[in-house]
Structure 1
Amino acid sequence: MQFETAVSLKPYNSFGLPAQAGRLVRIRSEADVRAVVDHPDMGRAPRFILGGGSNVILTRDMPELVLKVEVPGLRLLRETADDWIIEAGAGVPWHTLVAWTLDQGWPGLENMALIPGTVGAAPVQNIGAYGLELKDRFESLDAVDLVTGRTVTLRHEICAFGYRDSVFKRELAGKSLITRVRLRLPKAWQPMLGYLDLSRKAEETGIAAPDARTIFQWVCDIRRAKLPDPAQIGNVGSFFKNPVVSAEQCRDIIARDPHIVHYPMDDGSFKLAAGWMIDACGWKGKSIGHAGVYEKQALVLVNRGGAVGSEVQTLARAIQESVYGRFGIRLEPEPVMV
């Protein structure tokens, strides 16, 4: 267990916001978590779990004990007639996992290429992109109970996945630390091209039946064209969830704004494009202090240099009020505000 004091968290959050952890422990194994739980002082301290920092907005210094998750490891756990079951340590960058599976010849995650963050954070948020969510490939995960120090294995039904949601954002928030995640990749692979950007790529290239590597490259190209690199411009990717509304609500909004981008869901509801609504309210390219709305994609808030968490909060709230005033929809942020 590696213990540090007075640690700057600016390098550990993708928005590049200034904050300091009074105490930080680097978690590289289940044993490290148990050592924290059993420690006479740290075992009783309030804690904050930090993965890749790509889904958090830091608005203050952290008096909590910060558990920085850095568990390594990638392996094929087992192979069946129908699937490859892979396992990854919670500290592995998500995109590293996606690229590794394709290098091994195991497709199935390519639609989620270039999503920032770590493997351990992926189930918390039930990450997803271009028609695929983590829950669609999820097998199980290991987590350490932060009260007892016991390692438990949780399967799909316990995790209660929803749209950018899971039990780890609700009942188990702050109560367990994910150490390893297992995914099931089907051998009967089929390309997923339902999203407009991917279908456009298929039309532009004339490739009607792309392989997984091609889709991976398309997704990387699309994301790089729309989203800034956090290493160059601080951001957390998509800042707001795309709201899901009933068919009746969707018809009402279309009657007022016929061009609104919307997608039908399997249950009869509709997902609305939050970025389109923010752009329609005139926010693209605008700033409050040093926090701004990205010029190429209104769904992304960025650090224009020297931003602090309060400026991001103020900008987010102003956008929420604008969208609510025009569309009657209250946008919900994806990142956690701390």
Structure 2
Amino acid sequence: MNSAPNVPAPAKSLPNLGLKGRNTFGLDAVADIAFEVTAPEQIAMVMKQINEQNLPWRVLGGGSNVILPKVLPGATLLMNITGQEIIASDQNATVIAVGGGVNWHEFVAWTLENNLPGLENLALIPGTVGAAPIQNIGAYGVELADYIDHIEAFDIEKQAFVTLSKDACQFSYRDSYFKQHPQRFIVTKVVFKIPKSWRAKIHYADLAKQFEGNSNPSAEDIFLAVCKIRTHKLPDPKVIGNAGSFFHNPVIPNEQYETLLKKYAALVSYPDVPGKRKLAAGWLIDQCGFKGQRMGNVGVYENQALVLVNHGNGTAQDILGLAKCIQDKVRKEFGVSLEIEPNIF
């Protein structure tokens, strides 16, 4: 006798769910109805219900890169698809499949525990694996895109699961095809290709300082150093609400960079694509006097001007009001526009 197919249970429905513990800014927000998605197959069932009722909707992973309003109308899909496994390995690379709901930092630690170095520069970035490619997360000279093989996602337009190659993802600095087409895809699985050949990447200034006199650190050494740097620069969301870096580092033409450099000799910048230069947004904000400043219930972190914080009882409106003040001052002083990094729901 044939056994019945293994059909997952429907996604758990959670009406009027409080989300204060599901976003790192610690904003008081309530979802009209939330669906806890633990298997890819549940997404089609949830989307059918959403379409039938014509509900607005959004996906929420770890809540580390979002600004939530007091009420999220319609449906909120809580991405809780877990699991990670090595699916292929040869002399050149190891291929790993990871569920979209896996905690990003825990996955990075897992790769090192399994002797798969490469992602250590991306340690302690908050959020989930499924959210990582949308933003093409990066830090200390490494980008997620460097290690992507392909991505599996539910295509809302086609109402079907699709596989997108690395090229199809159209990755660029803090950008991707997913980000350019919001609410088109729900990422369920990310497949990484980790090369067997490895070399330390410690050329960024903060990281280089950690290894003065040590030109050959291990991947574990780099992982611990990155954790140390980020812990110093970024407040623990469990202690003070924040979403990490709040603004993108702006990229400007070399001509504009040279003009600014004549006026600001200490201008902090990094090479980018030919003809462009990337400025340190935190430095620009600091020069405008915002570091450590407070505006009501929100403010700018005292150790890193790139981080906006919720001192308690802050709202999305408070955070965005402070952000606009910063954007206006930086534009007036430097002629540079700052783009907000977190998603505004």
TM-score using structure 1 length: 0.97
The letter of the residue matching 1:329 is V
Distance 2:206 2:275 in 1: 22
Q: Is the 8 A contact 1:139 1:156 kept in 2?
A: yes
Displacement, 1:64?
Answer: 2.6
Q: Does 1:15 align with 2:2?
A: no
Q: Deviations over 1:219-249 (max 9, x none)?
A: 0001001110111111000000000111111
Q: Is the 8 A contact 2:50 2:75 kept in 1?
A: no
For the residue of structure 1 that corresponds to 2:88, the secondary structure is strand
2:256 — aligned with what? 249
1:337 — aligned with what? 344
Pairing 1:1-338 to 2, within 5 Å after superposition: 1-39=11-49, 44-171=54-181, 173-203=182-212, 206-338=213-345
- Using a 3 Å threshold, how does the CA distance of structure 1 residues 94 and 40 change in structure 2: closer, same or farther? closer
TM-score using structure 2 length: 0.95
The letter of the residue matching 2:193 is R
Displacement, 1:41?
Answer: 5.9
Distance 2:31 2:83 in 1: 26
Q: Is the 8 A contact 1:37 1:147 kept in 2?
A: no
For the residue of structure 2 that corresponds to 1:119, the secondary structure is coil
Q: Is the 8 A contact 2:64 2:127 kept in 1?
A: yes
Q: Deviations over 1:128-172 (max 9, x none)?
A: 00000011111111101224431111111111111111111122x
Q: Deviations over 1:236-292 (max 9, x none)?
A: 000000001111111011111110100112424111000001000000111111110
Distance 2:329 2:273 in 1: 29
Distance 1:60 1:329 in 2: 31
Q: Deviations over 1:292-318 (max 9, x none)?
A: 000000000011111111100100000
Aligned residues: CA RMSD = 1.2
For the residue of structure 1 that corresponds to 2:36, the secondary structure is strand
- Using a 3 Å threshold, how does the CA distance of structure 1 residues 41 and 331 change in structure 2: closer, same or farther? closer
Distance 1:46 1:23 in 2: 11
Displacement, 1:193?
Answer: 1.1
> 5+ residue gaps in structure 1?
none
The letter of the residue matching 1:251 is E
Distance 1:176 1:64 in 2: 18
Q: Is the 8 A contact 2:50 2:57 kept in 1?
A: no
Q: Is the 8 A contact 2:118 2:219 kept in 1?
A: yes
The letter of the residue matching 1:104 is N
Over the matched positions of the two proteins, sequence identity in percent amounts to 44
Q: Is the 8 A contact 1:98 1:110 kept in 2?
A: yes
> 5+ residue gaps in structure 2?
1-10
The letter of the residue matching 1:98 is V
Q: How many residues align?
A: 335
For the residue of structure 1 that corresponds to 2:262, the secondary structure is helix
Q: Is the 8 A contact 1:42 1:65 kept in 2?
A: no
For the residue of structure 1 that corresponds to 2:200, the secondary structure is coil
Distance 1:117 1:71 in 2: 13
Q: Is the 8 A contact 1:33 1:149 kept in 2?
A: no
For the residue of structure 1 that corresponds to 2:131, the secondary structure is helix
For the residue of structure 1 that corresponds to 2:28, the secondary structure is coil
The letter of the residue matching 2:315 is V
